[in-house]
A and B are shown apart, each in its own frame.
Chain A
């Protein structure tokens, strides 16, 4: 890890946190239509 000053470190942390939060939201949003389409088909495949 590189030595960063406090402000740089906070900026870096915030950026990564926002990216991860956006990813979690993406998972949440895609869970609605995606799973309904795919998993209903799996359920019906018997």
Chain B
């Protein structure tokens, strides 16, 4: 048992029963709640994806009415983004940030409880928005996609109101969690730890939290105006009343594009720990990583309209948005360069988190390259609203966000549970998952380039072969997550005892605590010797 854990066992009162979870103010318990919630949403969002791919297995309409198909597309996106990826990243943040900076808990523990418990209410509203149209008088299905563009979103029935309130609740939860994380990182760091000595995962979350505070209120404003247009006689977006539907697109993407970085950055933070640990080298270019992140966040805030090239902007506007978008590839490329430089001549081993890290570098770079293709205005006129876009953003978001979260879960699971996970099964999961992912989404590039539109339930018979391959891949990919569930449950229930320092090459404060850490950790601040045991030293 480590010194600090032993010192603090005397006040290690652990509440029991349902009160422990419902009234929890403990960062580890709330982190666990976030992760379990995200896992449930991952399966819900995954089920809708499987239905979509089942429908697209053959041309023609087999299983789903066109409106139901689009309702599934809408819900799949919203559940995965707001229900699975963001809460999972918040779960990692809750668990790891206090452990990494030597803080006893998050700065505002009660607000932490509130930000989590808003989520189940929001998820209920989100699910209701999907099911309400099935009831008599429930109105039409939400067939807008996650972008909720008017005029369609002004015409949908009451399910759109459920969705708008769900977005309000999700936004409140995100902003409260972001405030908590910023305050924790600014005010709760161990004495002696400067901002430029913070672990990189904390830096990525600091930038992410600021991004969320800057863009989520704009989305909230946008959907509130939508609500007013629907029910209170305003005409912000209603052309019949002198409003402008394109205004909503601007508001939505002012949120929507930085949201991509909100999803990506925490996973980049995970990689910044996994790669040095399994390369047994310090992270290459700490300062340039921080600088790149700030550059990505700043430029990412001012290039939103590259999602809207086809609406008919002026030449000056599209040129600005095109150049700005392409410039983002420079700081992102620098991050990838730093990861490769960290691995260069390292004493590398390939445990599951490292396998995911390497896969992310390869596939996320691939997704980034198709992003540069989409950023070019004349080319985008061809690709816009085609399956190429679907392939692109899944190549960015699955490796860039979800695989990063998987890497983080496998990296820290032994620390959380006190048990080593089954490495053989985890490697099986990795290979099945990554191969299934590529079989699903790689053919969609060709489908898009050949002209298959997205968000349409039916397609021309000439697209059949690639769609069959994609759907078979989706079955493999989707079912592989059952293996993840089994591995996680097995690790929670037992297994080989994990040491305090789970990975031989790992450095940082969190590895000075027991696995699992005591219920109350870092009740006294870590000493200087622990602070020096970190790779996050400016080079």
A28 with B221, Cβ < 8 A, contacts A17-B183, A36-B247, A39-B250 known: yes
Q: Which residues of A contact B108 (CB under 8 A)?
A: 13-14, 17
- Which residue of the partner chain B has the closest CB to A3? B191
B193 shortest CB reach to chain A, Å? 7
Query: Is B3 part of the binding interface, using a Cβ–Cβ cutoff of 8 Å?
Result: no
The segment from B146-154, B212-220, B325-333, B486-494 that touches chain A is: B212-220
Q: Which residues of B contact A40 (CB under 8 A)?
A: 244, 247
Assess whether B213 is in contact with A27, with CB atoms less than 8 Å apart: yes
Assess whether A9 is in contact with B217, with CB atoms less than 8 Å apart: no
- Which residue of the partner chain A has the closest CB to B255? A31
Query: Is B121 part of the binding interface, using a Cβ–Cβ cutoff of 8 Å?
Result: no
The A1-46 residues at the B interface (CB cut-off 8 A) are 1-3, 9, 12-14, 16-17, 20-21, 23-25, 27-28, 31-32, 35-36, 39-40, 42-46
In the bound complex, what is the Cα–Cα distance between A45 and B305 (angstroms)?
Answer: 14
The B217-244 residues at the A interface (CB cut-off 8 A) are 217-218, 220-222, 225, 236, 244
Q: Which residues of B contact A36 (CB under 8 A)?
A: 236, 247
In the bound complex, what is the Cα–Cα distance between A44 and B242 (angstroms)?
Answer: 13
A20 with B213, Cβ < 8 A, contacts A32-B221, A36-B236 known: yes
Binary contact readout B174-199 vs A (1 if CB under 8 angstroms, 0 otherwise): 01001110110011111111000000
Binary contact readout B253-296 vs A (1 if CB under 8 angstroms, 0 otherwise): 01000000000000000000000000000000000000000000
- Chain A at the B interface: SS class: helix
In the bound complex, what is the Cα–Cα distance between A2 and B186 (angstroms)?
Answer: 12
Assess whether B218 is in contact with A35, with CB atoms less than 8 Å apart: yes
The B354-384 residues at the A interface (CB cut-off 8 A) are none
In the bound complex, what is the Cα–Cα distance between A39 and B193 (angstroms)?
Answer: 43
Query: Is B314 part of the binding interface, using a Cβ–Cβ cutoff of 8 Å?
Result: yes
How many residues of B are in contact with the other chain, CB < 8 A?
41
Max chain A Cβ within 10 angstroms of own Cβ: one of B214, B218, B225, B254: B218
- Which residue of the partner chain B has the closest CB to A9? B187
Query: Is B156 part of the binding interface, using a Cβ–Cβ cutoff of 8 Å?
Result: no
Assess whether B179 is in contact with A24, with CB atoms less than 8 Å apart: yes
In the bound complex, what is the Cα–Cα distance between A25 and B218 (angstroms)?
Answer: 10
Option from B182, B191, B314 in Cβ contact (under 8 Å) with A45: B314
- Which residue of the partner chain B has the closest CB to A13? B107
A34 shortest CB reach to chain B, Å? 10
Q: Which residues of B contact A3 (CB under 8 A)?
A: 191, 525
Assess whether B313 is in contact with A43, with CB atoms less than 8 Å apart: yes
- Which residue of the partner chain A has the closest CB to B221? A31
Assess whether B179 is in contact with A20, with CB atoms less than 8 Å apart: yes
Query: Is B312 part of the binding interface, using a Cβ–Cβ cutoff of 8 Å?
Result: yes
Assess whether A27 is in contact with B217, with CB atoms less than 8 Å apart: yes
Assess whether B111 is in contact with A17, with CB atoms less than 8 Å apart: yes
A11 shortest CB reach to chain B, Å? 10
Q: Which residues of B contact A2 (CB under 8 A)?
A: 191
Assess whether B313 is in contact with A42, with CB atoms less than 8 Å apart: yes
In the bound complex, what is the Cα–Cα distance between A42 and B178 (angstroms)?
Answer: 31
Q: Which residues of B contact A43 (CB under 8 A)?
A: 244, 246-247, 250, 311, 313
Assess whether A20 is in contact with B191, with CB atoms less than 8 Å apart: no
Q: Which residues of A contact B180 (CB under 8 A)?
A: 17
Q: Which residues of A contact B111 (CB under 8 A)?
A: 17
In the bound complex, what is the Cα–Cα distance between A40 and B314 (angstroms)?
Answer: 13
27 CB < 8 A contacts A-B = A1-B192, A9-B187, A9-B188, A13-B107, A13-B183, A16-B183, A16-B187, A17-B108, A17-B179, A17-B183, A24-B179, A24-B213, A27-B214, A27-B218, A31-B220, A31-B222, A32-B221, A35-B254, A39-B250, A40-B244, A42-B313, A42-B314, A42-B317, A43-B244, A43-B313, A45-B316, A46-B313
Where the two chains meet, the residues of B that have a C-beta atom closer than 8 Å to any C-beta of A are 107-108, 111, 175, 178-180, 182-183, 186-193, 213-214, 216-218, 220-222, 225, 236, 244, 246-247, 250-251, 254, 305, 311-314, 316-317, 525
